């Protein structure tokens, strides 16, 4: 009843009593039924209040495992692969693991924990963001830049400082969002750059899917969470392993060994359900990403891109080669740079649909209105 105006409650009560009295005056035999119905209503409400109180005390009570077990993420794979290019096998593997996690959802285990390894700008963080949109569209993912957790005291930034210490009322950067809403995708970006004690703290979380927030003393439940840790270390070694074998068991075992040689603790590696390698994109994938980004860029200005000639995409790929070492991160800047003058001109003439071509004589991109 919290949040309901008392005048409204009073008027509703008067309405109900008057209604019941009229009904009783007309058909007196209904009295025992009305009495029984009121008692049942009261009992239901009392049980509801008790449940709400329990949930407030222990947020784990708020997790509906029956609903999680019915959720399906695999059918959203097509949408994720439409947005993230060149990693179809990795996406399938991640989604089938999460699906298993959903089917077996229970306290004391997360829905999945993945270590995404790959060069910069290949879509590791983006994969976490897309999975978040697909699984929990109403809940923002928790994205933590772990390179900012380089010292021992940063453990408290993650799980909240003890009472009395600065920042304790704010809680932990990981624990507070999970207390507010336990349905979360957690992305631990640049995980390899965090302090070993910070990583140790995650041992328990990945192991038992819960921890105690130091500042509030409340137990935080992560059993409705999927964890993605991303890292740039060990790329060469994993590239060699992926080239040598396509057997998932071999890849998993050998990549754990390779990452242990890179300095990761074996105990930590064992806590990830899957190690996923996301290598540099091939030129054809870069062209597809360019295509997606071009369409997105024009759409922001209310203009639909009906066609982009292959020459335009080849030009984008060619220019991206210079920035290859940054993955496709620079591509959106290039596209912005290529398209902005054309968008200005198209908006001035009121175009709603355009097609892009490359003028071979000048090497410039042209935008023509299309129907």
Ligand X SMILES: Nc1ncnc2c1ncn2[C@@H]1O[C@H](COP(=O)(O)OP(=O)(O)OP(=O)(O)O)[C@@H](O)[C@H]1O
- Torsion of Cα atoms, 146 then 148 then 149 then 151, to 10°: 150
Q: In the numeric block, which tokens belong to residue 9?
A: 């409650």
β-strands 226-231, 274-277 pairing: unpaired
Interface with ligand X includes 203 (CB under 6 A)?
A: no
Minimal distance, residue 147 CB to Mg ion, in Å: 10
Residues 93-122 that bind ligand X (CB under 6 A): 118, 120-122
Interface with ligand X includes 323 (CB under 6 A)?
A: no
Minimal distance, residue 189 CB to Mg ion, in Å: 5
Interface with ligand X includes 195 (CB under 6 A)?
A: no
Interface with Mg ion includes 189 (CB under 5 A)?
A: yes
Residues 227-266 that bind Mg ion (CB under 5 A): 230
Dist. CA 84–CA 285, nearest whole Å: 9
Interface with ligand X includes 297 (CB under 6 A)?
A: no
- By CB atoms closer than 10 A (0-12, 13-18, 19+), residue 46 is exposed
What lies within 8 Å, CB to CB, of 125 at 6+ separation is 143, 187, 189, 228, 230
Instruction: State residue 153 phi and psi, 5-degree precision.
Output: -60, -15
Q: In the numeric block, which tokens belong to residue 204?
A: 């328990």
DSSP state, residue 191: G
CB neighbours (10 Å) of residue 313? 21
Q: Which does 122 bind (CB under 5 to 8 A by kind): ligand X, Mg ion, none?
A: ligand X
Interface with ligand X includes 315 (CB under 6 A)?
A: no
Q: In the numeric block, which tokens belong to residue 90?
A: 């990795």
Question: Which position among 59, 60, 123, 161 is part of the footprint of ligand X (CB under 6 A)?
Answer: 123
Question: Taking the alpha carbons of 80, 127, 224, 142 in that order, is the dihedral positive or negative?
Answer: negative
Minimal distance, residue 331 CB to ligand X, in Å: 7
Letters for 147-186 (x = contact with Mg ion by CB under 5 A, - = none) are ----------------------------------------
β-strands 226-231, 112-117 pairing: parallel
Interface with Mg ion includes 125 (CB under 5 A)?
A: yes
Q: How many residues bind Mg ion (CB under 5 A)?
A: 4
Minimal distance, residue 289 CB to ligand X, in Å: 4
Residues binding ligand X (CB under 6 A)? 84-87, 118, 120-126, 189, 230, 232, 281, 289, 327-329
Chain residues that interact with Mg ion, rule: CB under 5 A? 124-125, 189, 230
């Amino acid at each position: 009843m919290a949040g309901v105006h008392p005048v409204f409650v009073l008027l509703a009560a008067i309405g109900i009593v008057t209604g019941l009295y009229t009904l009783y005056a007309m058909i007196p035999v209904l009295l025992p039924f009305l009495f029984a119905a009121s008692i049942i209503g009261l009992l239901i409400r009392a049980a509801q209040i008790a449940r709400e109180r329990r949930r407030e005390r222990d947020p784990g009570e708020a997790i509906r495992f029956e609903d999680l077990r019915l959720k399906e993420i695999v059918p959203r794979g097509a949408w994720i692969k439409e947005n993230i290019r060149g990693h179809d096998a990795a996406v399938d593997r991640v989604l089938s693991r999460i699906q298993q996690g959903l089917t077996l959802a229970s306290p004391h285990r997360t829905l999945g924990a993945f270590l995404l390894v790959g060069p910069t700008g290949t879509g590791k963080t983006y994969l976490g963001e897309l999975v978040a949109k697909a699984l929990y569209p109403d809940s923002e993912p928790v994205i933590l830049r772990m390179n900012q957790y380089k010292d021992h005291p940063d453990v408290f930034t993650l799980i909240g400082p003890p009472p009395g210490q600065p920042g304790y009322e704010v809680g932990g950067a990981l624990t507070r969002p999970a207390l507010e809403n336990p349905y979360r995708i957690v992305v631990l970006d640049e995980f390899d750059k965090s302090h070993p004690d910070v990583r140790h703290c995650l041992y328990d979380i990945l192991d038992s899917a819960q921890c105690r927030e130091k500042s509030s003393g409340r137990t935080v439940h992560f059993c409705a969470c999927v964890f993605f840790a991303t890292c740039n270390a060990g790329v060469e070694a994993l590239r060699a392993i992926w080239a040598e074998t396509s057997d998932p068991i071999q890849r998993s075992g050998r990549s754990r060994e390779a990452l242990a040689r890179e300095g990761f603790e074996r105990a930590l590696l064992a806590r990830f359900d899957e190690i996923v390698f996301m290598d540099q994109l091939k030129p054809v994938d870069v062209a597809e990403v360019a295509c997606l980004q071009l369409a997105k860029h024009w759409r922001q200005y209310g203009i639909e891109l009906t066609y982009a000639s292959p020459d335009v995409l080849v030009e984008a790929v060619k220019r991206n080669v210079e920035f290859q070492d940054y993955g496709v991160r620079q591509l959106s800047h290039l596209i912005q740079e290529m398209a902005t003058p054309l968008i200005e001109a198209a908006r001035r003439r009121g175009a709603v649909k355009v097609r892009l071509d490359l003028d071979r004589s000048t090497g410039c991109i042209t935008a023509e209105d299309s129907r």
